[in-house]
Every structure is written in C-alpha cells, then in structure tokens.
Amino acid sequence: MDLIGAIARCFLAPGSRALTTEYGYYFFRTATHLAGATLDLAPEHGLTVNTQAILGHLTPETRVVFLANPANPTGTFIEPAQIVALRDAIPRDILLVVDEAYSEFAATSETRLFDLVRRGDTVVLRTFSKAYGLAGLRVGWGLFPQAIGTEVRKLLLPNNISAPALAAATAAMRDQAGMRAAVAMISRRRDFFASRMRAAGLQVPVSHTNFVLLCFASDEAAVQADATLRASGFALRRLDNYGLLNCLRATVGTEDDMEEVAQILELFLSVSH
Ligand SMILES: *Cc1c(COP(=O)(O)O)cnc(C)c1O
C-alpha cells in the first residue's frame, strides 16, 4: 500500500487521471484521490478484468494504469500474456502498475511479468502480506525501472521497513517450500469451499487468491447471510464500497472454520433463499 501511495504521489496531481477496472482494488482509488487526481473505472466482464475496456478508457490526462492480477476482491485472474499485449497497446508515457499481491496463488504463477519492467514503463508490486502470512509486519516490494524507482523512493520514509519486519521477510523468502505448502493447503480448502457454495446455489467466480467471493441472488440475501454468520462469530467482508451489494468475501481460514461457515450458509440457503 505504501508503494501504491508513493507511485500515486509521484505520477498524479490535480488535473491528471489514473485508470483501473470496475472492481479494481479499492486502495487504487484512495491513493489516486489522496494525490488530488481523478480515477476512471473501465468495466469488467464477468467480474474479470477486460483489457480492451482498459484501452477504451484511456484519456489524454491518464498518467497511470493500476491493475491487480489476481484481483481483489473478485479473486479472478487474467493471463499475463494479455497484460503484455495491453502494455504494448498503451502509450509509453503512461505508467502501468501491475499489483501481484496474490501472485503466489495464481494457477500459472510461472509466467512472470518482471520482464516488462525492463521496458522502463511498468512496475510490478509484490507483498509478504498474503502467501507469506506477514500482513501485520507491513512489508512488501516492487520491481521498478531504475529511473522511476529512484523518484518513488524519495517519497518514502528512508527507514520505512523495521528491522524485525525485514528479518521476518528475509526468513520467509528463504522458505519457499514452506510458502508453497501453505499456498497448496489454502488453495485446496478454498476450492472445496467454493464448490460447496456453488452447489448450494451461490455464484462464485474461480478464485486465484486466498479468499472466495460469494454472490447471492439479492442484496437482502447477502445482508441476512452476513448477519447470520456474525451471530456465530464469523465476519465476512461486505463489499458495499465496490457496489457489490449482493456479495460477501470469505478469506480462507482453518479447516474447522470453513466447515462451520459452509454448514451455516448451506442451511441458510436451503431454508430461506
Ligand atoms: C492486500 C493487498 C495489497 C496490500 O498489501 P500490503 O503489502 O499489505 O500493503 C495490495 N494490493 C492488493 C491487490 C491486495 O490485495
């Protein structure tokens, strides 16, 4: 988030515009607005990023295109080759920021966008908050073209990452096997939960993250399901700020928790909806 904010402060100002997609990560909006600029939203198709729509929504004032892949809060993923084609089609003086916070969960994470950075017009962001489980330590990183990295770095506090956070991130990065085992376990639990929720009647896009988007038949059903779950101590994420009033986002938890949430929702859907 710190890097997104610094990129926005570096490239945006009142009068300029950034572009993301309809359900693009909310902090892209916040960071753009904090920089005094305007954010445009390109429509998605089936809760998935549509690169043609992004091209159609560029303006002469657009300075930055923000894209999260896999996406949050939808969990959907587009082929990195589509992002390479998008980069080829966007004017070179517009910065493309690809936020890969959930990259480790993506089915084809071998396909890397880091090569785009060498072109000088693209930044790729990663984090220790998701697959590495270190969200509370506030540590992430980005691969920047040299000239852009130098300018963005000036806008960050020089000591913005604490020594304990750096030590933990270093140890986490060295334990690739541990990270991959966690990702495999979470992904299995996620897919099992998602298929049960589809069988129970919810619309659930295929997720490439550590959460599942649950779409109910109506806004009221989502509100009631949320209240029912909260009464049992489970807080799912409401997505009103994205305009997804009929959806809840469930982060994958322990096996026991997922079982309990699945049973509560199966009962809820069988009796009243
Ligand atoms: C969680 C998340 C972030 C924020 O990551 P931090 O490193 O915790 O600041 C950024 N982008 C996306 C898409 C995320 O889901």
Closest by CA position to 247, among listed 224, 213, 220, 273: 213
pLDDT tens across 201-226, in order?
Answer: 999 999 999 999 999 999 999 999 99
Q: Comparing C-alpha atoms, which of 215, 218, 217, 256 is closest to residue 236?
A: 215
Which ligand 1 atom sits nearest the alpha carbon of residue 130? Answer: 1
**How distant, in Å, are the alpha carbons of 39, 166, 179, 254 from that of 29?**
6, 28, 30, 32
pLDDT of res. 88: 96
End-to-end CA distance of the chain: 38
| Structural domains of the chain, with CATH | 2-166 (3.40.640.10), 177-272 (3.90.1150.10)
209 lines ligand 1 (CB under 6 A): no
* Cα 135 from Cα 209, distance rounded (Å): 15
Residue with tokens 């657009």: 62
Q: What is the pLDDT of residues 119-165, one digit of tens each?
A: 999 999 999 999 999 999 999 999 999 999 999 999 999 999 999 99
Q: How far is the CA of 191 from the centre of ligand 1 (A)?
A: 22
Q: Best mutation site among 127, 139, 162 for ligand 1, i.e. most ligand atoms within 8 A of its Cβ?
A: 127
What percent of the chain shows pLDDT beyond 70?
A: 98
Whether 273 has a pLDDT exceeding 60, the answer reads: no
* Ligand 1 lined by 129 (C-beta under 6 Å): yes
Phi/psi at 169 (5° precision): -65, -40
Cross-strand partners of 114: none
